[in-house]
A and B are shown apart, each in its own frame.
Chain A
C-alpha cells in the first residue's frame, strides 16, 4: 500500500503539491493506443460489497480472456465513487472522458449514480455499460447505455406467477421504501393479482432500518400464506434471521422474494435459516452448467473463497459485451459503432443464455426459480424451474 501521508505537516503540504503536479503530467504516448475502460464502482461505503464483486469479476474476465482484444491492449481504470453521491460519479465520468480519454464507461452500482452519469455518455458519445443498477428506466436515459446486469421488474415477475400457481393465496409484501423496492412491489402485486392471488398488506421499510423485527411481527400477525420480500443487497441476512427467529416458518408462512434476499455472497452466513426460501432470479452460483462451474471455481480461487453473486456476473458479462463488440467492429473504438455492435449480441454466460435487446439496449435473459437447499453441507440456491427470454416488462 502506498504511504502518501507522513506525520510532519510540512511534508504533507509538500506531498500534496507534488501529487497535484504529478497528476498534471500529460498521459502521453502509451504504446499503440490501448482500449481504455473506465470502471466506476462503489468500492467504499455501504455498497462496497457490490463494487468488490464486480471488480473481482472484471479482473477475472481479463485474466481469462487476455488483455488484448482485436489487436488492442485493454487498459482498466478503476475508480471509487463511494456509492452515495451522484455528483461524484458524474465528475469521475467527466474526468475519465476528458482526461483519461476512455473508450468505454462501465460499472454503476446504483440507479441515481447511473442516471447522473448518463448525460456524459450521451454528450461524449461513449458507450456506458451498466453492470449493477437495476431500475427499468436507466437505458432510456441515453442512447449510449447498454445494460449487462438485470432489471428488477424482469426478475420479480416470475416469482409472482409461481406463487399464484402454487396454492399461495394471500401474501404480505415487504419492500424497502425506495425506487427499486417500489418497482418490485408494483410488479409483484400486478402479476400476483392477475394470477388470482390477494395481497393483504404492503409494508415499506425505511431505507435506514436497524431492526426488521416489528415489520415481520406485523406480517406474521396478518397470517398470510407467504411473505414477499425485496431488500437491497446485503440486508437479506438481517431479514432472514428475524424471519427465522420470529417463528414465521412455524406459523406456516413461506418466504418468497427476489434473489437479492438469498444473495450468494451472504447465503453461507444465513445457514439453515434460509432453507426452503423460494426466489426468482437471473443468477445462482449453483446454476448447473459447465460455464458456471468453471466460473465459480476460478472466482472462488482468485478471491479467497468468496462466492460470486449476481453483481459479479453483471461485471463479467459487461466485460464480455465490450470484448465482443470490439471484436465485431474490428478494433475501432468509435462509441456509436460499439453500441451498434452490442445491440443484438447473444452469448452463453455463467448465468445461462442471455442477449441484448437491439431496441431497448436492455438485457434479455432466462429467469430461474430457485429454492434454498443444503448441498454438501452448505446452503445453495438450487434452480428448479425457469422462464426463458424474459424482458423488462417496462420496455
Chain B
C-alpha cells in the first residue's frame, strides 16, 4: 500500500515537472509583460516537432535534439515577439486572446500541412526506457529523467534571476516596468529575451513531453487549459508559484486517476475551481 503511494507521488511529481517546464514561460510573459499568450502551446508544439523531425529524418540522438528544440522555439519566439507581440503589449487582454488564438489556428493548420494530422512519435534511447528498481519499487526511467531535467532547469532559472545582471533587470521590470526604464534598463530587450527564454522552455517541454502527452497538430488547443491552470493557480510571474502549482496539479491528477478512476476528470476541475476561489490571485500571486 505504501509502495503504491510512493509510486503515485513519484508519477505525479514527474507529470508536474513536465507541466512546469512547458508552462513556466507563460507564467513569466503574463507576469512580466501582462500579456495573455494563449499561443504558448504552439511554441511547445514547435519544439516537439523539431525533436521528432530531427530524430526521424536526420537521425539526431534524442538528447542532442533537446537543446535544438529549445533553440528552435526560442528563435521563433524572438522573431514573433519583435514583429507582432510587442505591438500588442498595450492592447486589451481580450485582443491579446484573440490574437494569440489566431496564431494557434495558424500553427495548427501549418503543422497539419507540414507533418500530417496523425500522432508523431519518437523512439527514446534504451537507457530512458523501462524501469529502474530501487528498494523494491519500480520507477519509470524516463520519469526519473524528467524530474532530473526540471531540477536542473529550476536551479538554472533561479541562479539566473538571483545572480546575474540580466536577472536583476528582469526582476526590476516585473516589479515596475516604467521605473525600470527610467533607471536606464532597456525594458524592450528584457522583454524580448525573456519571451524567447519562455518560448524556448516551452519548446524543450514539448520535446520532453512527446512520450507522455503525445504530439499532434491540435496540441496547443488540447493542453491550453492545463497551461493556464498552472499559471492561474501558481500566480503569474513567479517561478516558485508555477513550480508548486504544477506539482499540486500533477500529483492530484495522478492520484485521482489511480485511487478514484471512476471520478475521472472531476477531481482536477474541482480542485481548480476551489483553489481559484480560495486564492483568486494564485498561491503565490501578488495581491493588487
Docked-complex contact B211 and A234, CB < 8 angstroms? no
**Nearest A residue to B19, CB-CB:** A210
B195-236 near A? 1/0 per residue, CB < 8 Å: 000000000000000011110111000110010000000000
Docked-complex contact B264 and A204, CB < 8 angstroms? yes
- If A210-B226, A244-B129, A246-B140 touch, whether A215 touches B257 (CB-CB below 8 Å) is yes
- Residue B82 interfacial (CB < 8 Å): no
CB neighbours (8 Å) of B253 from chain A are 210-211, 214
Counting chain B residues whose Cβ lies within 8 A of the other chain, the interface size class is: 35 or more
Q: Which chain A residues numbered 259 to 299 have a C-beta less than 8 Å away from chain B?
A: 265-266, 269-271
A204-215 near B? 1/0 per residue, CB < 8 Å: 111111110111
- Residue B254 interfacial (CB < 8 Å): yes
CB neighbours (8 Å) of B140 from chain A are 213, 245-246
Binding site for B on A (CB under 8 A): 44-46, 48-49, 51-52, 177, 203-211, 213-215, 217-218, 221, 234-235, 237-238, 241, 244-247, 265-266, 269-271, 306
- Residue B138 interfacial (CB < 8 Å): yes
CB neighbours (8 Å) of A204 from chain B are 261-262, 264
- Residue B112 interfacial (CB < 8 Å): yes
- If A213-B11, A245-B131 touch, whether A206 touches B264 (CB-CB below 8 Å) is yes
CB neighbours (8 Å) of B288 from chain A are none
**Nearest A residue to B250, CB-CB:** A211
Name the distance in Å between A88's Cβ and chain B's nearest Cβ: 16
Docked-complex contact B257 and A214, CB < 8 angstroms? yes
Q: Bound state CA distance, A45 and B105, in angstroms?
A: 10
Name the distance in Å between A303's Cβ and chain B's nearest Cβ: 9
- Residue B4 interfacial (CB < 8 Å): yes
CB neighbours (8 Å) of B112 from chain A are 44, 48
Docked-complex contact B261 and A269, CB < 8 angstroms? no
CB neighbours (8 Å) of B218 from chain A are 45-46, 48
Contact of B258 (CB < 8 Å), options: A218, A235, A247: A218
CB neighbours (8 Å) of A266 from chain B are 118-119, 121
Q: Bound state CA distance, A169 and B131, in angstroms?
A: 27
Name the distance in Å between B102's Cβ and chain A's nearest Cβ: 11
- If A203-B261, A205-B261, A245-B140 touch, whether A234 touches B222 (CB-CB below 8 Å) is no
Docked-complex contact B129 and A218, CB < 8 angstroms? no
**Nearest B residue to A174, CB-CB:** B261
Contact of B11 (CB < 8 Å), options: A207, A214, A234, A265: A214
Q: Which chain B residues numbered 96 to 125 have a C-beta less than 8 Å away from chain A?
A: 108-109, 112, 116-121, 123
Name the distance in Å between A295's Cβ and chain B's nearest Cβ: 19
- If A46-B222, A204-B262, A211-B212 touch, whether A217 touches B119 (CB-CB below 8 Å) is no
CB neighbours (8 Å) of A207 from chain B are 265
CB neighbours (8 Å) of B264 from chain A are 177, 204-206
CB neighbours (8 Å) of B131 from chain A are 245-247
CB neighbours (8 Å) of B118 from chain A are 49, 52, 234, 265-266
**Nearest A residue to B113, CB-CB:** A1
Contact of B4 (CB < 8 Å), options: A203, A215, A221: A221
Docked-complex contact A206 and B265, CB < 8 angstroms? yes
CB neighbours (8 Å) of B222 from chain A are 46, 208, 210
6 A-B contact pairs sorted by A residue (CB < 8 Å)? A46-B218, A46-B222, A206-B264, A234-B118, A269-B119, A269-B120
CB neighbours (8 Å) of A177 from chain B are 264
Docked-complex contact B117 and A49, CB < 8 angstroms? yes
- Residue B130 interfacial (CB < 8 Å): yes
Docked-complex contact A44 and B109, CB < 8 angstroms? yes
- If A49-B117, A204-B264 touch, whether A210 touches B130 (CB-CB below 8 Å) is no
- Residue B142 interfacial (CB < 8 Å): yes
Docked-complex contact A217 and B130, CB < 8 angstroms? no
Docked-complex contact B213 and A211, CB < 8 angstroms? yes
Given contacts A46-B222, A245-B131, 13 further A-B contacts (CB under 8 A): A44-B108, A48-B112, A205-B261, A206-B265, A210-B226, A213-B254, A214-B8, A214-B253, A214-B257, A244-B130, A245-B141, A245-B142, A270-B121
Name the distance in Å between B285's Cβ and chain A's nearest Cβ: 25
- If A48-B112, A48-B217, A208-B222 touch, whether A241 touches B258 (CB-CB below 8 Å) is no
Docked-complex contact A271 and B123, CB < 8 angstroms? yes
Docked-complex contact A208 and B265, CB < 8 angstroms? yes
Q: Which chain B residues numbered 72 to 87 have a C-beta less than 8 Å away from chain A?
A: none
Most buried by B among A215, A221, A241, A306: A241
